[in-house]
Amino acid sequence: MTNHKLYSGKATRCGKPTLLMIEAFTDREAEMLQAAQAIEDGIATGELHRIPRQPDEVDETGATAIEGRLLVRRALARERDPKLRSRKIGQVRGRGGPLRCEACDFDFAHVYGDLGEGYIEVHHVTPLHVSGSRETKLDDLACLCANCHRMCHRSRPGESWRTPAALREQIRKSVQARIH
């Protein structure tokens, strides 16, 4: 703050990055205050997705964007037990069936051979942000390919998460619509 242009005392030493940050904050004070409030709100609620897009990160045509900067991020994450994934895969294999996506039937081993053998993502049918802290059973988990996993988590205005069963039904309807 001692390097702010309105400060009347003696400035302390600082580097160019700090001076650039002060200049950016001064030139875009309302936007910076809004971003700071969004971060505070995001920390309080556990959701940090309200931070507005930074206008200088994309050029006017949208064809390029600045990438590769080193960022420090601090985020809250829900605890997960990594052993549950292998236990769920073991449960599926123990039933004698192939390891495939429960929504679209994609089989990594069938498509990728040895590279795909034993690979699948494991998804909480009821999101942890909904269920809260609780004991997770293997039946609370579903095996999904990466695409279906992302689609279960994808949100749109007025929608939240979707279950693998709901996604499977959406896939079925989409395929039927293309046939007719």
pLDDT tens digit string along 13-30?
Answer: 778 888 888 888 888 888
Distance (Å, rounded) from C-alpha 105 to C-alpha 52? 38
What pTM does this model have?
Answer: 0.60
Q: What is the predicted pLDDT for the residue at 52?
A: 61
Q: Which residues contact 176 (CB under 8 A, 6 or more apart)?
A: none
Q: What is the predicted pLDDT for the residue at 121?
A: 96
Cα-Cα end-to-end distance for the chain? 66
- What is the per-residue DSSP string for 85-106? HHHHHHHHHHTT-----TTT--
Distance (Å, rounded) from C-alpha 170 to C-alpha 176? 10
Q: Which residues of the chain have pLDDT under 70?
A: 1, 46-62
Task: List strand residue ranges (DSSP E) for the chain, in order.
Answer: 121-124, 141-144
How high does pLDDT run on average in the chain? Answer: 84
Instruction: Provide the β-strand partners of residue 143.
Output: 122
Q: Where are the domains of the chain?
A: 1-76, 83-179
